[in-house]
């Protein structure tokens, strides 16, 4: 789970307000559709000839278009991250998977106004300034997703003398709001 979370951090530098609409056909040739979107995005399927439904079969999201004919458009906006399989009930060749990624950001200026310095840090002590006050709950992950440090601090100075040199993701949470950024330790 942590690995998945980290992958999301690493692969998605997506702004949460960048909403996109994706258009797909839904016909007898719609075999193994693989659709990947971000939270807030919309997918529109347009029916080809014949009578088809588009119905979720397993996973996070539940939807059912009911049966329609050529030219019908079915629009879904995905507001929850997750993975869902879907099919057309009478046509086994019509199926796909929609993956909805959470829109997260590596932008250090966002949710908590996190400012890390020095970064890279070589002294073993890094300062974490935030625009939000409160106890700072800190987790440090290496690039394989392994957590190498978990601590809480009341002030701004984090002791990383126990952590090996390398590139890390630091996740800082204050009162349940978190922000993740990159931290390089030398």
Task: Give me the residues that bind Cu ion (CB under 5 A), please.
Answer: 52, 88, 91, 94
> Closest CB to Cu ion among 67 and 102?
67
Q: Which residues are CB-neighbours of 114 under 8 A, at least 6 positions away?
A: 108, 128, 129, 130, 172, 179, 181
Q: Which of 33, 34, 44, 46 is nearest to 78 (CA)?
A: 44
Check if the beta carbon of residue 135 is closer than 8 Å to that of residue 155.
no
Check if the beta carbon of residue 116 is closer than 8 Å to that of residue 181.
yes
> Closest CB to Cu ion among 90 and 118?
90
> Closest CB to Cu ion among 46 and 102?
46
> Closest CB to Cu ion among 45 and 78?
45
Which string of b and e fits 169-185 if b means at least 16 CB within 10 Å? Answer: bbbbbbeeebbbbebeb
Measured from the CB of residue 34, what is the shortest distance to Cu ion in angstroms?
Answer: 18
Q: Which of 167, 166, 168, 110 is nearest to 139 (CA)?
A: 168
> Closest CB to Cu ion among 20 and 49?
49
Measured from the CB of residue 88, what is the shortest distance to Cu ion in angstroms?
Answer: 3
Please state, in angstroms and rounded to a whole number, the distance separating the CA atoms of residues 131 and 140: 20
Measured from the CB of residue 87, what is the shortest distance to Cu ion in angstroms?
Answer: 8
Measured from the CB of residue 86, what is the shortest distance to Cu ion in angstroms?
Answer: 11
Measured from the CB of residue 52, what is the shortest distance to Cu ion in angstroms?
Answer: 3
């Amino acid at each position: 789970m942590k690995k998945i979370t980290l992958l999301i951090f690493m692969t998605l530098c997506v702004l949460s307000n960048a909403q996109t609409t994706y258009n797909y056909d839904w016909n007898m040739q719609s075999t193994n559709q693989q659709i990947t979107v971000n939270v807030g995005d919309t997918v529109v399927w347009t029916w080809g000839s014949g009578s088809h439904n588009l119905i979720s079969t397993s996973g996070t999201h539940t939807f059912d278009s009911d049966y329609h004919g050529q030219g019908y458009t079915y629009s879904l906006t995905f507001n929850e991250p997750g993975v869902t399989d879907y099919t057309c009930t009478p046509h086994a060749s019509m199926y796909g998977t929609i993956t909805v990624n959470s829109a997260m950001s590596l932008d250090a200026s966002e949710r908590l106004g996190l400012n890390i310095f020095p970064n890279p840090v070589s002294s073993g002590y890094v300062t974490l300034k935030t625009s939000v006050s409160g106890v700072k709950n800190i987790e440090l992950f290496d690039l394989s997703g392994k957590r190498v440090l978990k601590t809480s601090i009341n002030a701004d100075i984090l002791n990383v003398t126990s952590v090996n040199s390398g590139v890390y993701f630091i996740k800082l949470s204050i009162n349940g709001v978190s922000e993740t950024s990159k931290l390089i330790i030398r």
